Structures are given as structure tokens and as C-alpha cells.
Structure 1
Amino acid sequence: MASDNDAKKAKLESHLLYAEIKTVEMHTGGEPLRIITSGFPDVEGSTVLAKRRYCREKLDHLRKMLIFEPRGHYNMYGAILVEADIKEADFGVIFIHNEGYSTMCGHAIIALGRYALDYGIVKGVAPETQVNIQCPCGLVRAFVQYDENTKQSGRVRFESVPAFAFSTQLEIETEKYGNVIVDIGYGGAFYAVAHASQFGLNVRESRTRDLVDAASHVTECAKRQVQLSHPVDDDLAFLYGTIVTDGKDEFDAKEPTANICVFADDEVDRSPTGSGVTARIAIQHRRGLIQLNQLRHFESIVNSRFTGKAIRTTRCGDFPAVVVEVSGRAYYTGTATFTAETDDERAEGFLLH
């Protein structure tokens, strides 16, 4: 029986376009994460940012295969684990989505923190284990709850790279909505942040499609009108998306605030968005709306929740900045093995928008 199975496996592998790619599947606040565990080619580059460029230039067909239909979907998100170039990092990561490669992803960090303990990358230490993850935006420190008796990992908090408000109360001209006021913040990636009321919408009640259309239009207009810069690397200086909020930045910080983050190619985050929460906290702190260590609760369109707070001040080049702590919970949803046959005309996938 074993020899028959080996023969069948060898016959199948002879018809494969690429090696089998194995993954662990997770979600954080409803937002999926496909962690590639084996079968992916070596990613070249002396830094994580260089590895990101290499993936974009040489391995993009595999991103499409794993993220696009029929193996994924329009809003799938993934992580490629790579060797870090920062000494204190336990590993590096390249984030992938429907449009390409992001520089930071908080929901992925929360999931990868648990994964690192549970799959032996980092040894669990009670009551909390530190996991250092090098992202394209820099080193992010995650802290994972760990129970020594049950060997179970739990909730994860992480400390961001220096986050800052790039511009506050900026007026953007839009064709659909007239002039719109936005804040632009950096939380490992740049986001425009706008109140839903400016579009005649409500984050908790309006149709998701209408919220996505508004956010995407703001992103398009802001990209044309705002020249972004980042003190560390030009590869970080791009507008990743727009966060539409319920407008409660200026309310009592004890109240939860809801938002929807639309990033990449109209991709909708099911979670409150870790890097988006980081950017919003940086903006709120810069505008004097919250103080250090003042906790805020952020809700997503599926009612999942992260917490965030600015824990210390710092600088990022000429920008006054803060380090933000974001906390959330990730869960496992399964494992998978993906293949592509040589005669499959849709081997690299497709997207329906």
C-alpha cells in the first residue's frame, strides 16, 4: 500500500508547476492570515526591504497563486517568513495581499506571535513571551500570553515602530464628495483617516460597499495631492489606504470607536487593523486628544476589537512620534497544502472584483 501511495504522489508531483506549498491558516479579529510554512523558494536580499523587492520582482506569481482565487479570495492576506537582518529579531516577515506587499500588518503580528510559540520558533516563557519580528518597516516586539501548565498561548500585544502624524486636518479635493478633511498618520504604513459623516455614511450602519467606495476615492485623490515622505526609507513613503471612522477621535477616550480600513486594491480589513490603530493613536496623541497610556478601544465592521495606547514618546526623523501598544487575539482555522498543475490555465489565480 505504501509503495502504491508513493507512486501516486510521484506521478502527481511530475505534473506540478511548482513545489507543494504548505500553510498554517489563522485569523485575527476575523481578518485571515495564510502563513507559508514550507515549499516557498528562498527569498534573496540582504535586508527585509530588499527581500520584499525580490518577491515583487521575481516571485510575484506565487503571491498571486496563494492570494487569488481559487485558492484564496479578494480579501486574503498572507505572510512569508524570511531570515531577519536585525540581530535581535527572531525572524523576518514579508506581508502579501491582493495588490502586492505591505510594510506592516498588526493583525498578522498578533497571529505570528502565537504561531512563533506554538510552532517552536521561540520558547514559551510564562506569563508572557517576547517575540521580535522584523517587518519591512522595522523591528516590532510582540508579547504573547503563555500558560506554563497548559502550554497554551493567548492574547498578544505588540509595540509599534515609531508612529507619527504626517499631517492633520488636511483638506483633500474629491470629485464625488467635495472637499474632505483627513488626517494622515504613519503606523508602519501611511493611512488617510476621515470621518464617515463627511460622505453621508455611518460606519456601523451603512453598506460596506458604500464605505469602501468612499475610502477608495479618498485614497485615489490623496495620492494625487499629497507627497509623502519617510525619514527612514523611500520604500515606506506610499499611502497604503484610507480608514473611515465614526468620528469619535474627539470623544471620551473611554468610549469604543469604530472604523473600517480599506487598503491595497479595495481590500477590506475585517479586524480593526493593527497598523491603522497605531496610526490613529499617533494622530490622536499629536492632536492632544489622548495622553500617554490612555487606553482606547477600536472596533471593526464585524465587531471585533483591538485596544491601543501610546506608551512613550520618541522621534522619527523630524517628526514627533510615539510608540504604540496594540493588543488583540488570533485563532487557528486550519492547515493547507497548495499545488498548481502544469496544464492549469488559471494556475496563478484570478480575482473577481
Structure 2
Amino acid sequence: MPVTEFRRHPNHRTRSIELVDMQSGGDVSRIVTRGVGHLPGGSVLEQMRYLQQHGDGFRRWLLNEPYGDPYMSVDLIVPPDHPQAQAGYIIMEAMGYPLYSGSNTICTAAAILENGVVPLEEGDQTLVLESPAGLAWVTAHNRDGRVQSVTTRSEPAFVCEQNMKVNVPGWGGVRFDLVWSGAYFALVDAESLGFALMPGETGRMAEFGLALVEAARPLVTDQHPELGGVGPLPFAHFMGPLEPVEGGFRSRSATYVHPGVICRSPTGTGTSARMALMYENGQLRKGETLETVSPKGSAFLGRLLGEAAVSHYRAVNTDITGRAWTLARSEVLLDLDDPLVDVSDLEGVLDSGPAA
């Protein structure tokens, strides 16, 4: 599928793309299914880095007013490089380009199957997607031509450092654990900070999340031991108390992702990060589950699959199960003369033409 060549209208100052808007756990993902062309690079990670460096206007166009809002995400379907993958996808959010996301993977997998990018099969169907972080192994549970739920396993999660402490303006000293799960997360104990993780607290949680991330960035690494530079610390994850349930635990949870934004879903990567920390601390064993519940009341079910390794770190494999729902199928138009859209690097990508 091409990525730098938009379908042209008779008016050559107008471009268009086709979207499928999905939601999982309340988080909206805009899946770009048509209208973009080839990105230079082999792997999806290389394609993502090209887009990040030379065409970030595409992300800003679809996530900023008047075309979108920062609560949304964009998933651009691209050709995979890995021979086992059936499709690739680049994840774009208000904070930038996360290498992996559970809710985005659930939405993208459902959109790929329900819109015929990969033919949907009744029953359990295996789908392998290439994300910038590597392969996402997906099992779609299909019935009557619809994806009823998606279980996705990504690359391993690991604890980078525990019991870090930072002075957060207005909050004093705050302890956090640094965990990799598709991005680096600062995990904090919600109860110790006075949060019950309920809907009325999201504004205050977003204020704290921004202050924590900004204060912690100088203290934490921006390097992944295998993927290289991954940018500054993007996320804070609030951990509620653990409630024992059959086969594992349940916990209220919340994730800060961008100034003013607390995810509506409990986030798949946040859930995996929490499971990695629980395993490291002897709280969760292979085969056990963690159900995370967002302030909006939506839930994801995580399962610990077993131990893994990332460089010298002890890591864990996990999977996340959730469901995606179709909100809209649409054609979005961009007039390059629109004064509310910064088309500088966006137009540069469009004008570059398909790569050889």
C-alpha cells in the first residue's frame, strides 16, 4: 500500500485518505486504510523513523483540531518487512510515535480483518502484524463476520529500575518504577498519592502525570538495549490496589499519555508493564492474569505467559485481550491551502513522490 502519494482530486491542492475509526476500551484509533503510499525504509521501525523525521505533519494533521483531537491515535497500515507478518502498522499519538500499543493493536487487527485487508475467517484466526517494536502475535476470535475479541502478544516487557525517586513540583518526593513495555513507563502507587482512579480525578491525574514525566525525564534512559533511541519518557501509569480474583488479580489503573490526557482505556502496554513489575516482585506467576479497569470502567485482561530476556534484563511475555468496535468509515479531505493546517513537512512528504 503506497504511503507518500495521496490520491489526487481534480483540484491538485486537495488530498484525501480513507479512515476506519475504531475504539477499544474507549480509546479511539483512526486506521488509515487507503490514500498513502510507499515510505522509504525496510522494517516498519525504519518506515516509522522516516515518517517521524520527514513527514510528522501527517500525524499532527489527523490528531489536532479541526480534524482530530489529542485523545485519538492514528494507525497507518504499511507493508511489512518481516516474512511472517501479514501487515505492518505505524502508531501515532499526540505524544509522538510509540513503538507498540495494546489498544491500537486491538483496533488495527480488527480493522484489518473486518475491512478485508486480510480476509476474515470464522472462529479463531491467527494474524501476525509488524509494529515498530517487532512482531505482534494476534489471535482474533471471530463470529458471524465480526471480530468478537482480540488477544495480542507483543515483544517482552522488563523492569529497568525500581524504587527511583524524583522531586515533583507541588507533590514532593515521589517514588516510581521504570518499566519498558513498548515504551518506558513510570509506574506509581495511586493510593499513596491520594488517587482512587475514579472519573472525577482524571484532570488532577493528568496534571500530576505531566509533572512527574517532566521531572523524571532527566533521570531515566532514552535508550532501549536492542532498539536504540526511543525518545524521552512518555508515560506514567497509576497502579491501584490489587484485588484477588480467580486465576489472578483485578486492579483499577490509569495511564497518563499527553498533557491533559488520561487514557480512556486501561492501556494494554500499561497492563503489561504492571505484570512485568508484579512478576519481578514475586506477585504474579506464569499463567496468572491481571484485569485492569480504567477510570471510565473499561477493562483489559492481561495474562503472564512466561519468562523471557531482553539483553541483560529478565523480561516477561504477556498477552492482552480486549475488543474493538467500529465507529465510522470515512474519507478525510485536506486542502493544502487550509490556514489551520501546518503543511510544511506534510507537503514535503506528499511532493517527494513514491520511492524507487
**TM-score, with structure 2 as normaliser:** 0.88
Match of 2:112?
A: 116
May I ask how many residue pairs the two structures share in their alignment? Answer: 335
Equivalent in the alignment of 1:90:
86
Q: Which residue of 2 aligns with 1:326?
A: 320
- State which drifts further: 42-51 or 221-230: 221-230
Matches within 5 A, 1:201-240: 201-204=195-198, 206-236=200-230, 238-240=232-234
Q: Distance in 2 between matches of 1:289 and 1:317?
A: 23
Say which structure is richer in strand: 2
Partner of 1:37: 33
- Structure 2 partner of 1:275: 269
Q: Larger deviation: 193-202 or 73-82? A: 193-202
Do structure 1's residue 104 and structure 2's residue 100 form an aligned pair? yes
Identity of aligned residues (%): 23
1:252 equivalent to 2:248? Answer: no
- Is it true that 1:341 corresponds to 2:335 in the alignment? yes
Tell me the residue number matched to 2:142.
Answer: 146
* Aligned: 1:184 with 2:181: no
Aligned to 2:302: 308
CA distance in 1, matches of 2:141, 2:56: 35
1:79-118 C-alpha deviation (Å, 9 max, x unpaired): 0111111110111111111232111111011112222222
CA contact (8 A) 1:190 1:237 kept: no
Report the counterpart of residue 163 of structure 2 in structure 1.
169
Contact 2:184 2:235 in 1 (8 A): yes
1:131 aligns with 2:127: yes
CA contact under 8 A between 1:46 and 1:85: conserved in structure 2?
Answer: yes
Task: Supply the distance in 2 between the matched residues of 1:294 and 1:117 (Cα, whole angstroms).
Answer: 29
Following the alignment from structure 1 to structure 2, what is the Cα–Cα distance between the partners of residues 182 and 230? 19
The 2-side partners of 1:51 and 1:234 are apart by 15
- What is the letter of the counterpart of residue 302 of structure 1? K
Deviation at 1:16, TM superposition (A): 5.5
Give the TM-score normalised by the residue count of structure 1.
0.89
Q: 1:96 to 1:205 in 2, by over 3 A?
A: closer
Say if 1:113 and 1:143, in contact at 8 Å, map to a contact too: no
Give me the whole-angstrom Cα distance separating, in 1, the residues matched to 2:174 and 2:164. 8
2 CA distance for matches of 1:123 and 1:342? 35
State how 1:17-96 maps to structure 2 within 5 Å.
17-96=13-92
Q: Residues 125 and 337 (structure 1 numbering): CA distance in 2 closer, same or farther, change over 3 Å?
A: closer
Determine the C-alpha separation between the residues in 2 that align with 1:342 and 1:306: 40
Mapped to 2, the partners of 1:107 and 1:69 lie a distance apart of: 22
Measure, in 2, the Cα distance between the counterparts of 1:99 and 1:184: 18
Is the contact made by 2:138 and 2:153 (CA closer than 8 Å) also made in structure 1? yes
Change (3 A) 1:247 1:181: farther
**RMSD in angstroms over aligned alpha carbons?**
2.0
Unmatched runs of 5 consecutive residues or more in structure 2: 1-7, 344-356
SS of 1:207's equivalent in the other structure is: helix
Letter of the aligned partner of 2:137 in structure 1?
A: R
**Residues 126 and 13 of structure 1: is their aligned pair in 2 closer, same or farther, counting only changes over 3 Å?**
closer
